[in-house]
A = this chain, B = another copy of it.
Amino acid sequence: MTFVISHPMDAPLSALDKGVPAIETNLPLDAVGAQQWRLLKEDLPLPVAVLKEDCLRHNSQWMKSFLADGGARLAPHGKTTMSPGLFDLQLADGAWAITVSTPHQVQVVRRFGYQRIFLANQLIGAKAIDFVISELARDASFEFFFLVDSVDNVKAIAKAARDAKLQRPLEALVEIGYPGGRTGCRSVNEAIDLAHAIHETNGAIVLRGVEGFEGLLKGADNAATLELVSAFLDSIVALARACDEERLYGSETVILSAGGSSFYDIVVEKLGSAALTKQTIILVRSGCYITHDSVLYAKAVQALRERNPALADAHGGLAPALEVWAYIQSRPEPEKAIAGLGKRDISYDDQPIALVWYRPGVDMERPQPLSPDHRVTRLNDQHCHLEIPADSPLKVGDMVGFGVSHPCLTFDKWRVLHVVDHNYQITSSVRTYF
């Protein structure tokens, strides 16, 4: 039986949710498909965010095949979608854990019952530390991994664990960064000192591995970026080996983890070459593969194609699954149209792409592509400015489907997204928890 992309703990749909019709009474998620709502029949208020089901399933399978080929494991970054309905699809396709970024996200995934959680960040703040310790005490099958990059933080967490009389160790990875970067120790030596500080907590915290995030490195061109990424991954490996030599790991299995969304291939190759004396899990944390996108990660795949065409196009490549639809609400000048979506509906680090259009009520069979001279020039909070050719077909009341530039910053603008089939009929809905 096909897995339905939905989560049984999600609250029913409500008219208070953006993208949900003005239903009189709340609608349980498992009753959504039976409504047979169709986007193109105007059954939904716009703007609305939709996930193309065939693309989601394809991308999930693509990652499964890729990981099987490369021998790595995946803890998909939950911060991308914060959607348990999608987490379950990812786990069904073999994900090893769910990665999150913040204490709030830890709280959410625990409430949904996920048992293996990777916090790709420092664990900071009394409330957050207490919550993790109490969950570890309460549930023996809960596995929790987190990053450290400062002795102060190691001491604070170890003290809290001792104060709470926690009967098992917390499991940390030392984070290595790079000068000018974000979090993480700035050198292998600094990171080794920190690993020693973990060792000195006498089992309150154990060292489970080494981590770095390569995703923000940027050189002058693709080749320069690749060089920076390679060198950084080398530093993760060097640190991992040093900790191995100094016998600082507190477990039989060591986790080596990097981001992996844009550089899957290099990450798996480099970290896979560490050759430690312990069993090693190569853990990538890509979050965006599940929906892919039309700009940011589309460029990343293009760069991957340049260096590794076989991989980029293996299993048909990734497909953009996420679209936001809006009406044309004004065409005030021949070369200008205003659509009813804005910064509150779609990511805007780069402008979204106007992909297709559809005129409801006139027997148009399918959405039609928009020529590339339809360009988003500006987003306000609730409006989208489109530069269009004077002979564009678009008029007030037409629907436009937009591709997104960045899934993470689009998902967080929606509490409900609808999963659609190839005819844009809603098959299920998922909630998000940002």
Given A186-B332, A332-B177, also A380-B216 (CB < 8 A): yes
From residue 359 to 406 of chain A, which have CB atoms closer than 8 A to chain B?
360-361, 380-383, 385, 395-397
From B21, B107, B383, B408, contact of A182 by CB (8 A): B383
Given A102-B340, A124-B340, A153-B397, also A183-B45 (CB < 8 A): no
From B15, B122, B330, B331, contact of A330 by CB (8 A): B122
In the assembled complex, the Cα of A216 lies from the Cα of B310 at a distance in Å of 49
Which residue of B has the minimal Cβ distance to A9? B16
- Kindly specify which of A57-65, A126-134, A166-174 makes contact with the partner chain: A126-134
Q: Does A104 contact B (CB under 8 A)?
A: yes
In the assembled complex, the Cα of A46 lies from the Cα of B126 at a distance in Å of 10
Residues 325-346 of chain A: 1 if any B CB is under 8 Å from the residue's CB, otherwise 0? 0011111110000101001100
In the assembled complex, the Cα of A182 lies from the Cα of B360 at a distance in Å of 24
Q: Does A150 contact B (CB under 8 A)?
A: yes
Pairwise interchain contact B107-A43, C-beta atoms closer than 8 A: no
Residues 419-434 of chain A: 1 if any B CB is under 8 Å from the residue's CB, otherwise 0? 0000000000000011
A29 vs chain B, min Cβ distance (A): 15
Q: Does A226 contact B (CB under 8 A)?
A: no
Which residue of B has the minimal Cβ distance to A330? B183
Q: Does A181 contact B (CB under 8 A)?
A: yes
For the complex, would chain A's binding face be called helix, strand, loop or mixed by DSSP majority? loop
A367 vs chain B, min Cβ distance (A): 16
Q: Does A22 contact B (CB under 8 A)?
A: yes
Pairwise interchain contact A183-B383, C-beta atoms closer than 8 A: yes
Pairwise interchain contact B412-A344, C-beta atoms closer than 8 A: yes
Residues 79-113 of chain A: 1 if any B CB is under 8 Å from the residue's CB, otherwise 0? 10000000000000000000001111001101100
In the assembled complex, the Cα of A46 lies from the Cα of B381 at a distance in Å of 26
Pairwise interchain contact B409-A343, C-beta atoms closer than 8 A: yes
A residues near B, CB below 8 A? 15-16, 18-19, 21-22, 42-47, 79, 101-104, 107-108, 110-111, 121-122, 124-128, 131, 149-150, 152-153, 156, 177, 179-186, 216, 327-333, 338, 340, 343-344, 360-361, 380-383, 385, 395-397, 408-409, 412-413, 415, 433-434
Query: 21 interchain pairs (CB within 8 A)?
Result: A16-B108, A18-B434, A22-B110, A45-B103, A45-B104, A45-B131, A46-B125, A47-B104, A122-B330, A124-B327, A126-B361, A150-B330, A156-B397, A182-B330, A182-B383, A183-B332, A183-B383, A184-B330, A186-B333, A412-B413, A415-B415
